[in-house]
């Protein structure tokens, strides 16, 4: 059985979603057409947190009951999944580097604001953007992201996401992954081969 664990980005990231539809609801409808054709041979999972995120963007009344039939909501078994210690070491090291980088971003903004007192609002906006990039880009920064990784590990499934942090940590943990930008092509290939 082929198993995929799906991230929100497939349906809400405009660059990815547009391969399936113009808006999240249309993207979900198109995805569900693929899921129907592959039913019984391919399983699609979402942790409850990711499913809840998706439902904030998708008009449920337009995709029910298919969404319930073709996407399996399953939380990871957080009590029995083992994570290698090196992952925790790398996470701690990564967080420390990011904190230091965030501090440098803040220091630079303070220096700029002392020199250019007229553009403090622009400096603050730049600080926020750079600080967010330094601390959040490329890291698993939510419980939902972590659940996605754990569920894929538990099921020996393939993660589908456009989130660099999720894909980076999936790779570190030896979990199969597909960049969501290629997911529609993968589904087309599966339909051709087994659908």
Q: pLDDT value at position 71?
A: 97
Q: Which CATH architecture does the domain made up of 2-81+143-194 adopt?
A: 3-Layer(aba) Sandwich (3.40)
| Structural domain spans, the chain | 2-81+143-194, 85-136
Which pair of structure tokens corresponds to residue 59? 């008009």
Please state the pTM of the whole predicted model: 0.80
pLDDT tens for 61-109 read: 999 999 999 999 999 998 888 887 887 788 778 778 877 877 777 777 7
Q: pLDDT value at position 178?
A: 97
52 vs 55: CA distance, rounded Å: 5
The phi and psi torsions of 193 (rounded to 5 degrees) equal -80, -45
Mean pLDDT by 10 residues, the chain (195 residues): 96 94 96 96 96 95 93 93 80 79 77 71 77 68 88 97 91 94 97 87
Question: What percentage of residues in the chain have a pLDDT greater than 90?
Answer: 60
Q: What is the DSSP letter of 58?
A: S
Which pair of structure tokens corresponds to residue 81? 């999944």
Q: pLDDT value at position 107?
A: 77
Report the DSSP beta bridge partners of residue 2: 42
């Amino acid at each position: 059985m082929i198993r995929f664990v799906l991230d929100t980005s497939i349906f809400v990231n405009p660059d990815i979603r547009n391969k399936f539809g113009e808006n999240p609801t249309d993207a979900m409808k198109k995805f569900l057409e693929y899921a129907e054709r592959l039913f019984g041979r391919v399983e699609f999972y979402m942790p409850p947190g990711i499913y809840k995120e998706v439902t904030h963007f998708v008009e449920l009344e337009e995709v029910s009951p298919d969404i319930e039939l073709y996407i399996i909501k399953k939380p990871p078994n957080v009590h029995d999944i083992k994570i290698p210690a090196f992952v925790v070491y790398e996470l701690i090291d990564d967080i420390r580097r990011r904190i230091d980088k965030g501090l440098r971003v803040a220091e630079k903004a303070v220096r700029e604001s002392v020199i250019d007192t007229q553009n403090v609002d622009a400096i603050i906006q730049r600080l926020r953007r750079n600080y967010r990039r330094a601390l959040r880009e490329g890291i698993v920064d939510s419980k939902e992201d972590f659940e996605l990784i754990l569920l894929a590990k538990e099921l020996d499934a393939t993660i589908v996401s456009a989130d660099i942090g999720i894909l980076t940590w999936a790779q570190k943990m030896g979990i199969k992954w597909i960049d969501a930008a290629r997911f529609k092509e993968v589904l087309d290939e599966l339909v051709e081969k087994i659908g």
